[in-house]
Structure 1
């Protein structure tokens, strides 16, 4: 999928921009391309948009299952310095979301795990359905901050 296909942008009503993580076959698990695309879109909304609010959601039956470990397998074998440098780039999307001058609402349906929970936590407000589930992933294997900087 291209960057435009993995992050859908629409305006259901004037002033409301919805960003939809669009990898439903992988429960919207994050890839470097998706995180870059999210950061780019948040930058665009901040500087070129008349949006008053941003709604972040996921397509299908999940909000976001965290990092797609299959897609990121090469990154995990780079060694600690390169891994940390990569994560700094991935955290840019979260930093941009936190820094937006407009409110961000995470609309969570289904799992928000690991980095997906970090995205939800970075929003100003979280709205969850009864099917929503939140969980830190890497802390279970003794790594703190590995879920997109969540600690």
Structure 2
């Protein structure tokens, strides 16, 4: 296994990013944060990258922060808010703002920030053996990396409070049943299914998909009137794109569309 903390596999139309510290369940260190940021920035700058999959090496997806990476020396105080401000919060914002869909393929335990990094992705699929764990309360902390925002919106306030306060593992099948994730698959099918999703998304109308992401994110805080106005404005942008023209033409000609993902004028 490559010793780099982040592996990048460039595929036709999309990339696969693998969190690569399997001996530590892919828990985050500062160097891993820097490597992941560079990988995401590079993917965003590549006009041929139209989808992204994030998964983990070995038996885990991500166990959150590697506590050994920030152990205080005698007489020092750890400022956890600084770690969030410098690394985790920008990562979550980046994942939400990427102009193409992001798939999380959760291959094993996703704990703490690792669980919430997965939930920040657009589509989450998981192996049947995978679990999601809001481990923060076990060490006296608050769910971070968007956990207190994602959980109530995905599973409702009662389940969100139970997951956050009790810190009990949530199996992948129950996570699907609760609406936390999109789908779960047999372990040996997960990566293949994730690749198929990315291939499908990469062949889609990328610009339109990016506008869908914007609309859904805005709907979390907009009232209906504001959201209707936003839909109007985004639809104008989508309607001016080459992919819209191609989609209508392909429909009329009864053939598969050939989307380019380009923005409109």
**When the two structures are superposed, what TM-score results if normalisation uses the length of structure 1?**
0.86
Pairwise CA distance, 1:44? 1.8
Deviation sequence 1:13-72 (CA, Å, 0-9, x none): 301200000000011011111112212221221123411110000000110011111112
Question: Which residue of 52, 58, 61 maps to 2:59?
Answer: 61
**When the two structures are superposed, what TM-score results if normalisation uses the length of structure 2?**
0.51
Q: Match for residue 5 of structure 2?
A: 6
Question: Which residue of 125, 145, 150 maps to 1:148?
Answer: 145
- Larger strand fraction of residues: 1
Structure 1 contact 112–132 (Cα < 8 Å) conserved: yes
- How big is the alpha-carbon RMSD for the aligned residues of Structure 1 and Structure 2? 2.1
Pairwise CA distance, 1:86? 2.2
Structure 1 Cα separation of the partners of residues 41 and 70 of structure 2:
24
Structure 2 Cα separation of the partners of residues 68 and 95 of structure 1:
21
Q: Match for residue 85 of structure 2?
A: 88
Structure 1 gap ranges (5+): none
Q: Does 2:45 correspond to 1:42?
A: no
Structure 2 Cα separation of the partners of residues 49 and 131 of structure 1:
35
Structure 1 contact 63–110 (Cα < 8 Å) conserved: yes
Instruction: Provide the secondary structure at the position in 1 that maps to 2:67.
Output: coil
Structure 1 contact 42–93 (Cα < 8 Å) conserved: no
- Aligned residue pairs total 145
Structure 2 Cα separation of the partners of residues 32 and 78 of structure 1:
18
State the structure with bigger RCO (CA 8 A, min sep 6), 1 or 2: 1
Structure 2 Cα separation of the partners of residues 37 and 112 of structure 1:
19
Moved over 6 A (4+): none
Structure 1 contact 61–110 (Cα < 8 Å) conserved: yes
Instruction: Provide the secondary structure at the position in 1 that maps to 2:69.
Output: coil
The structure having more radius of gyration, on CA atoms, is 2
Structure 1 contact 62–109 (Cα < 8 Å) conserved: yes
Structure 1 contact 9–20 (Cα < 8 Å) conserved: yes
Q: Match for residue 107 of structure 2?
A: 109
Pairwise CA distance, 1:90? 1.4
Pairwise CA distance, 1:89? 1.0
